[in-house]
Structure 1
């Protein structure tokens, strides 16, 4: 086991009753964050207190999702107002805006700058959950919509790491779908379906492997199949409910960095977060002997998002305590510091979406 040390902490000047939904890498050396006060902020990885507010009111009804877009200054957000926006950090405002049919709340977003494509996954509205596509050069019209593949909230979207025409979606209906987006007919476009359970997170581990994590912490790894390839694929690996295996209360997400994939497993009672390596050799397994522990984590509050930053050799976390924290490998012989969180009175949390 390796211990990481909390080296910095910041509330990003958020109001006292706020908590932070997610962070993502932005321009080199900077990160972006979305929060329960509906703001979009950027901050410096080297100095968490040095940052700026891109928008204090990102979406009517609340911002739900955040991704980095192309270039060094563009961010993509989705909100409960049914809108998807691309923000220019330097200009301090949205440069492109798209809108779902019937203003359906957006719960997930993805983008492919190579094809100028933005995609959004919606909440179930009038018995319909939609995967909606836009070409940002014509943002007023849909370039494509898949309206029958899911029958509940769409919680995850991700493009294939090397194939710009392959998109993954996950939903609380229990399905992880893989589409060939060059095909407009929805039935024909669907090239793989995985039945996993209410999807919290899902994505590509590699070009040929897919992971799925449910809201009740069921975790599995599946081969990506190709209907035109006759090669026999390996069986999926089902880990089941990982809470007992990892001695955790919840799984925040799966992180992929230069050193591989890690499951971020949190324990509020013990005030810790563990980054557990997911390794294959030859079978997939959770390498608990070589986990990275973040002692103290975010106290008794849930960790919402984790970013691995190769450039600064740091880990960044955010949570429901309203703080962003930076972590580095503790020096040998040095005491491991848990980091001190300023106690904040909490208002009742908004019923925006419930990942745990």
Structure 2
């Protein structure tokens, strides 16, 4: 089988797409039957053909920043979007201009900054921003009962913004969450109550920004922090005396020397490539250049650099295993498709198209060390 590095060497730009109005592209999701969904900083979700990148429609219904998009696996015509407006909405992408087909809410004080759908397509989970200076919540719904209200709430495991929740790709009851309180938690939801469901807590020692399930049986967990730290843990060691940490760095930007002897300026995210059995981490330069790296127990290793595509920071990517293609989106409003031997048939000037409104996109300051949980415990000790 051709190695991952050889596959990536053949990547070049096959298609470009830009919305009519400049906007940041924040997150991208792939539908099994050939669509892409892209969340944008103007609170809209754009629906594209994955091969041509032609925009086929859009879903508008949120009035605050989006926190992600995800397609249903068993009903691929159904798409979910979450938002800081305190809603998760379900859309029928066969008629994306209509009103949402489903809507999920919790307490009016809740503002969501992350959400995900379980691999069984039955459970939605959203993570809230911090409420009342000390609380944050994981809220759950049964998607088969959109009018039934909340299925449950976890309230004790995080004390600050829950920046990402990720269901396990194969185990419908396994959930990982991370927060600006620095903690990464793993739950077994089949155990019910929060205290019993909490299997493990890992500390990123910083403001945790994203998590990614990885490893041959998805027993590993990658965490990237807001200050570009990287941590890889092996949850298969939970019931042993072996350490969980496979690799850890408080600043991963300089781990992979580039041609200019410098490092990447930021990390975009990670993705486990099932066919290659490799953990792909994407980093970038502020100029728009991308660097594809493998992550293992030795750290990061450069596989391929992609230049000439984006003109500013890249916010999202996904790997299309069926096509062995990469999709990237960023702050230059460009959605790019990179394929082996691709030819840029929709070429355009490589220039930033940041709009004034996009530059004002809400960005929360993240605490790095003075975590609310520590402050709360200190207050209790003093009482």
TM-score range, shorter chain: 0.7 to 0.9
Matched with 2:153 is 145
Q: Does 1:274 align with 2:270?
A: no
What is the distance in 1 between the residues matched to 2:176 and 2:220?
12
What is the distance in 2 between the residues matched to 1:234 and 1:177?
13
What is the distance in 2 between the residues matched to 1:225 and 1:353?
35
Deviation per residue, 1:136-172 (Å, 9 max, x gap): 2333421111011101101111112222111100001
Deviation at 1:179, TM superposition (A): 0.9
Query: Of 299, 312, 315, which residue of structure 2 is paired with 1:285?
Result: 299
Matched with 1:201 is 210
Is residue 297–residue 338 contact of structure 1 (8 Å, CA) maintained in 2?
A: no
Query: Of 126, 129, 133, which residue of structure 2 is paired with 1:120?
Result: 126
What is the distance in 1 between the residues matched to 2:251 and 2:12?
29
Query: Of 183, 193, 197, which residue of structure 2 is paired with 1:189?
Result: 197
Is residue 237–residue 244 contact of structure 2 (8 Å, CA) maintained in 1?
A: no
Is residue 332–residue 354 contact of structure 2 (8 Å, CA) maintained in 1?
A: no
Where does structure 2 lack aligned partners over 5 or more consecutive residues? 257-262, 367-383
Is residue 170–residue 177 contact of structure 1 (8 Å, CA) maintained in 2?
A: yes
Residue aligned with 2:253, SS: helix
Matches within 5 A, 1:1-356: 2=9, 4-11=11-18, 13-16=19-22, 18-48=23-53, 50-55=54-59, 57-70=60-73, 71-92=75-96, 93-112=99-118, 114=120, 116-126=122-132, 127-139=134-146, 140-196=148-204, 197-206=206-215, 207-225=218-236, 229-230=239-240, 232=242, 235-246=245-256, 247-257=263-273, 258-259=275-276, 260-269=278-287, 271-279=288-296, 283-288=297-302, 291-299=303-311, 301-330=312-341, 340-344=349-353, 346-348=355-357, 349-353=359-363
Is residue 231–residue 245 contact of structure 2 (8 Å, CA) maintained in 1?
A: no
Are the structure 2 counterparts of residues 199 and 294 from structure 1 closer, same or farther at C-alpha, using a change threshold of 3 Å?
Answer: same
Where does structure 1 lack aligned partners over 5 or more consecutive residues? none
Is residue 261–residue 277 contact of structure 1 (8 Å, CA) maintained in 2?
A: yes
Matched with 2:374 is none
Is residue 26–residue 74 contact of structure 1 (8 Å, CA) maintained in 2?
A: no
Residue aligned with 1:94, SS: coil
Residue aligned with 1:53, SS: strand
CA RMSD of aligned residues (A): 2.5
Are the structure 2 counterparts of residues 75 and 193 from structure 1 closer, same or farther at C-alpha, using a change threshold of 3 Å?
Answer: same
Deviation at 1:185, TM superposition (A): 2.3
Residue aligned with 2:250, SS: strand
Deviation per residue, 1:74-99 (Å, 9 max, x gap): 11111111001111101334222110
Residue aligned with 1:102, SS: coil
Are the structure 2 counterparts of residues 262 and 354 from structure 1 closer, same or farther at C-alpha, using a change threshold of 3 Å?
Answer: farther
What is the distance in 2 between the residues matched to 1:324 and 1:115?
27
Deviation at 1:35, TM superposition (A): 0.6
Deviation at 1:245, TM superposition (A): 1.6
Deviation at 1:265, TM superposition (A): 0.7
Are the structure 2 counterparts of residues 235 and 44 from structure 1 closer, same or farther at C-alpha, using a change threshold of 3 Å?
Answer: closer
Matched with 2:378 is none
Higher strand share: 1
What is the distance in 2 between the residues matched to 1:4 and 1:122?
38
Are the structure 2 counterparts of residues 74 and 130 from structure 1 closer, same or farther at C-alpha, using a change threshold of 3 Å?
Answer: same
